[in-house]
Amino acid sequence: MIGFLHGTILDKQPPVLVLDVQGVGYEIEAPMTTFYELPAVGESASLYTHLAVREDAHILYGFSRLSERGLFRALIKVNGVGAKLALTILSGMPANDFARCVQAGDTATLVKLPGVGKKTAERLVVEMRDRLSDWSGASGGAHVVNVQPDVIDPVEEAVNALMALGYKAPEASRLVRAVDSQHQSTEDIIRAALQASVS
């Protein structure tokens, strides 16, 4: 099992990044909460990882904090929640906010996340409540620097990232258009769009 990687960021195309670890390029899928904290391409970064082995693929998921990886692992154990939906949930709201929603039984907020219907929200509350009963929001994890990345078209990248997270193309475009995207990075546009979608 690959549990941790440290290397140089070669490419960032949310929700996928490529990390060069001593000459080997690892393709890693990460939630937007991790992308917000990643340094620029060419800088070094450390990620806690989870390796999912399927018949047709080996997929590596990366997280800036151990608590995020722990929440991801708890989410994929919930009936009907796969890795893609778990990433979408983690991208849509910070781990602490998700824990508060579960503990409070706030399904109304959870259903605002793409791919989370009423039944899935109720299942998340029921199955996750005990697992998050002692959630402390511990944020210990890799040290990363928030550096403004260089992007060619942050608006287009933001739309593509939202689509990769499960939004339909028209909805992704609408969310991004509603954001004041001038002079903002891709990560900032995605963050604002995701916050607007659950507000």
Express each pLDDT in 41-63 by its tens digit. Answer: 999 999 999 999 888 889 999 99
Q: Which domains does the chain possess?
A: 4-63 (2.40.50.140), 66-129 (1.10.150.20), 154-198 (1.10.8.10)
- For every residue of 32-44, DSSP letters joined together read HHHHTT---TTSE
Q: What angle do CA 162, 97, 116 make, to 5 degrees?
A: 50
Model confidence at 103, pLDDT cuts 50, 70, 90, reads: confident
Q: How many helices (H) and strands (E) are present in the chain, helices listed first?
A: 9, 5
CA distances, 193 to each of 9, 49, 115, 124 (Å): 25, 26, 16, 23
Residue 4's CB is within 10 A of a number of other CB atoms, namely 12
pLDDT in tens, 74-94: 899 888 899 999 999 999 888
- What is the per-residue pLDDT for 192? 87
Q: Is the dihedral of CA 124, 77, 19, 11 positive or negative?
A: negative
